[in-house]
């Protein structure tokens, strides 16, 4: 689940740097934004097929959308059409392909060797980069040599130490996956493959924030993504065979047993932030903290869930079907097929524009009046199935988490934003934060 890569800019031969590395980077973000692609496509070249059977995975059941499918490997025709159209559709000098699943390593190295060959054929002078999300289980020396040679950015899915990781991440035989994932990680490090870690915050690991954070740092992760899992599970599958419902569904459903609790997610983020802001600013980069600073700098957020509108991050299934969003792969959100309609025209179609605009137009009045709306913007529409205190629908299930978290970090973010504007290192916040007493007294930050 490589939700977003735009918030961290690739730095050629030295890997990825967060916006805290250089005091000028965020100040230059508006100019950089002009060079960013106006839409992105996450490709699933093996569809929802995976060698794990994670309890919380929202995508495994998408197999039911293709009941007659027997071959899940993206065909040469679809692959070439996608590579050619995606490169041609981007105006900027660089193009980033994001490969996800399912599990893309099931396709073998040979498939991605063909990807590289096609990218070279159609690059037309543009720089082409690749990002790749994996559970790490099938990684071997051959895979890692290939990933290193072609400078792939790898997102490794890992949910913390073994007892937390294996709570939900089991294989199809019900066996734990932690040891095999760690073996893959060690191979990535052996071959010096650039990697981030992606941690799904769920009902169990959300109660162990420091165990998770310190574990991730301990295994060498300097770039950390936390993704909250929130799913409404229907009592019975719908006519497409799907149990995990989209917002505004009228079918009887309840929050799934693996979903993170809203208040606990806010505490999870706060506890990690409080350690990070005292010890790790400029050393460890946590995506949600990075994006929050953009908000306090008055910049457009580079992570779609916190932006005012969405609709610029689509998903391509293995047969060429293009959907509005990774979390809205439903028949009513199908934009078309790239073998029948141009990718560019579907990405800019009136229907996709309406989809993106609904994020702001359906925002409850409660959110309109919220003091941290500028940092949240109602978060992902997928999670908007709760009610406001007055009974208005469309409130984000994680509202309590973000209200708590953003209010807590506000004084520190304000301080770091001021340091950036004055051409000083935002890491100066660590000295200030360490002055606070163990009870978390923030008086000095407010002064």
- 312-334: b (≥16 Cβ within 10 Å) or e: bbbbbbbbbbbbbbbbbbbeebb
The answer to whether residues 444 and 278 touch, using CB atoms and an 8 Å cutoff, is: no
The answer to whether residues 49 and 68 touch, using CB atoms and an 8 Å cutoff, is: no
- Give 342: exposed, middle or buried? Use CB within 10 Å, 0-12, 13-18, 19+: middle
The answer to whether residues 260 and 202 touch, using CB atoms and an 8 Å cutoff, is: yes
Say how far apart CA 46 and CA 71 lie, in whole Å: 9
- Provide the 3-class DSSP secondary structure of residue 46: coil
- 109-124: b (≥16 Cβ within 10 Å) or e: eebbebbbebbeebee
In the set 159, 274, 280, 326, the catalytic residue is 326
Say how far apart CA 318 and CA 320 lie, in whole Å: 6
Q: Which two tokens stand for residue 15?
A: 């890997």
Comparing CA positions, the residue from 253, 258, 206 lying closest to residue 230 is: 258
Say how far apart CA 194 and CA 143 lie, in whole Å: 13
The answer to whether residues 209 and 275 touch, using CB atoms and an 8 Å cutoff, is: no
Instruction: Compute the CA torsion angle 244, 245, 246, 249 (nearest 10 deg).
Output: -170
- Provide the 3-class DSSP secondary structure of residue 133: strand
Helix (H) or strand (E) holding 407: helix 399-421
Q: Is 326 a catalytic residue?
A: yes
Q: Where are the alpha helices (DSSP H) in 150-246?
A: 162-165, 178-190, 209-218
> How would you classify residue 311: left for phi > 0, otherwise alpha for psi between -120 and 50, otherwise beta?
left
Instruction: Compute the CA torsion angle 289, 152, 54, 213 (nearest 10 deg).
Output: -30
Kindly list the catalytic residues.
326
């Amino acid at each position: 689940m490589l939700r977003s890569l735009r918030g961290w800019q690739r730095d050629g031969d030295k890997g990825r740097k967060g916006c805290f590395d250089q005091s000028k980077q965020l100040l230059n973000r508006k100019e950089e934004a002009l060079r960013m692609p106006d839409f992105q496509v996450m490709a699933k070249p093996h569809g929802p097929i995976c060698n794990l059977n994670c309890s919380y995975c929202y995508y495994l059941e998408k197999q039911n959308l293709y009941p007659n499918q027997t071959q899940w490997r993206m065909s040469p025709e679809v692959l070439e059409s996608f590579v050619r159209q995606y490169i041609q559709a981007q105006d900027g000098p660089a193009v980033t392909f994001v490969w996800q699943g399912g599990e893309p390593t099931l396709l073998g190295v040979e498939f991605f060797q063909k990807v590289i060959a096609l990218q070279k054929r159609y690059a037309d002078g543009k720089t082409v980069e690749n990002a790749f999300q994996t559970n790490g289980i099938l990684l071997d020396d051959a895979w890692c040599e290939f990933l290193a040679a072609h400078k792939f950015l790898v997102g490794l899915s890992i949910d913390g130490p073994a007892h937390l990781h294996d709570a939900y991440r089991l294989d199809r035989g019900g066996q734990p996956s932690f040891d095999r994932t760690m073996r893959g990680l060690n191979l990535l490090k052996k071959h010096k493959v650039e990697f981030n870690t992606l941690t799904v915050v769920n009902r169990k690991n959300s109660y162990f924030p420091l165990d998770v954070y310190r574990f991730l740092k301990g295994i060498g992760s300097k770039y950390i993504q936390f993704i909250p899992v929130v799913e409404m599970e229907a009592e019975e599958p719908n006519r497409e065979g799907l149990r995990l419902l989209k917002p505004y569904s009228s079918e009887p459903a309840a929050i799934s047993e693996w979903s993170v609790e809203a208040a606990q997610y806010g505490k999870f983020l706060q506890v990690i932030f409080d350690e990070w802001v005292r010890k790790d600013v400029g050393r460890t980069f946590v995506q949600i903290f990075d994006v929050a600073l953009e908000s306090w700098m008055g910049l457009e957020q580079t992570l779609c869930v916190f932006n005012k509108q969405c609709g610029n991050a689509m998903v391509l299934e293995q047969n060429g079907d293009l959907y509005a969003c990774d979390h809205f792969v439903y028949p009513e959100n199908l934009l078309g097929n790239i073998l029948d309609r141009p990718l560019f025209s579907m990405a800019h179609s009136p229907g996709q524009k309406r989809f993106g605009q609904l994020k702001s137009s359906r925002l409850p009045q409660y959110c309109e009046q919220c003091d941290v709306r500028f940092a949240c913007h109602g978060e992902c529409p997928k999670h908007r199935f709760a009610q406001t205190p007055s009974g208005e629908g469309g409130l984000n299930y994680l509202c309590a988490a973000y209200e708590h978290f953003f209010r807590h970090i506000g004084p520190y973010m304000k301080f770091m934003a001021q340091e950036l504007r004055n051409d000083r290192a935002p890491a100066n916040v660590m000295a200030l934060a360490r002055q606070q007493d163990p009870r978390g007294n923030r008086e000095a930050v407010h002064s």
